[in-house]
Amino acid sequence: MLNIIKDALRVSGDDLDVEIQDLIDSAKADLVLSGVHKAKVKDDDPLIKRAVILYSKANFGYDDPKIADRFMAAYNSLKHHLTLSSEYTVGGD
């Protein structure tokens, strides 16, 4: 997941890996805290991947806060949809 998020953030090199991994971990924890079942927070799930990308872009440090706000609004909307879906809130497959 780290390389996917680095690509989405247009980051090369390893200098920011710790910060980016913290964003990934925070996004996943926020999804679980919001009601997404922990077993459903998988790196290969396209909606989870998109949520982590949006969260990371919202919190990575854009100079224009309006851009970050748009990414956070998109993240919150996707998170809301995930928490309303029994496919993501019930454990098991």
Say how far apart CA 3 and CA 72 lie, in whole Å: 21
Say how far apart CA 45 and CA 41 lie, in whole Å: 8
Nearest to 50 by CA among 83, 84, 4, 11: 4
Where are the alpha helices (H) located in the chain, listed in sequence order?
A: 2-9, 17-34, 46-59, 65-84, 86-89
In this predicted model, what pLDDT tens digit does every residue of 20-39 receive, in sequence order? 999 999 999 999 999 999 99
In this predicted model, what pLDDT tens digit does every residue of 59-87 receive, in sequence order? 998 788 899 999 999 999 999 999 999 99
Structure confidence at residue 93 as a pLDDT band (50, 70, 90): low
Q: Give the predicted TM-score (pTM) of the model.
A: 0.94
